[in-house]
Structure 1
Amino acid sequence: MAYITLLGLENDLAEQLTDVLGAQQHHVRITDSVDDAVRQGADIVFSTGDAPNYRELIRELASRAGDLAVVVVSRFPENSRWLDALELGAADYCGAPFEPVMMRWLVDSVMRRPRAAAA
């Protein structure tokens, strides 16, 4: 079980992810605020990759909580954005529709990675 925050996702994407992740017994919270995402103490933040400011969101999350795993979510996944997100420090990238098996693998994979030591 993981504590997951959904940051800045469109309502329908947030609803789909909440359904899939909740069915897998993960605790899911939704916010539009980086402050809330950091304060909530999540294991993983699923952040929008469709907003024009997605790069800034990844950077801000990394600067405020460097050990926080960020998975970028897109309605229309593109290789260039996937690579860009990973280069910015995202743990992974996924696109809709959210298949339960894929989401289980993604969360398990991210949760197995060691977290950076607190400074």
Structure 2
Amino acid sequence: MTHWLISFPSAAMRIPEEDLPDVVRDSHAMVRRAKDAGVWRFGGGVDEAVEPVRVHADGGTDRGPEAGLTHLDGGFAVLELATREEALVWAARFAAACRCPQELRAFGAGSEAS
């Protein structure tokens, strides 16, 4: 089984304000569906009000993301699925619920975090 990251940047959500309650309802329903299917591992939205910091090995910190890179925002879900094809189906479901395209990435095999 592979852990798959399904995500979208905040800028991808170009929906009218009045549609937001429906998007919230539908995206929460997708989370419940993934949980009911036993594939949900974790997920959520990045709190954009909290500034990111880079933490160094000595414990020192720098404000903001890595120089030259954009910040991480938006929402994400990590699902555990057997195939890429299954991951594509789930990503399409989340895209429909969130009303925006989703990015799909696989976590590397053999991770100690699994």
- What is the TM-score normalised by the length of structure 1? 0.28
Larger radius of gyration: 2
Which structure is higher in strand share?
Answer: 2
- What is the TM-score normalised by the length of structure 2? 0.29
Higher relative contact order (CA 8 A, sep 6+): 2
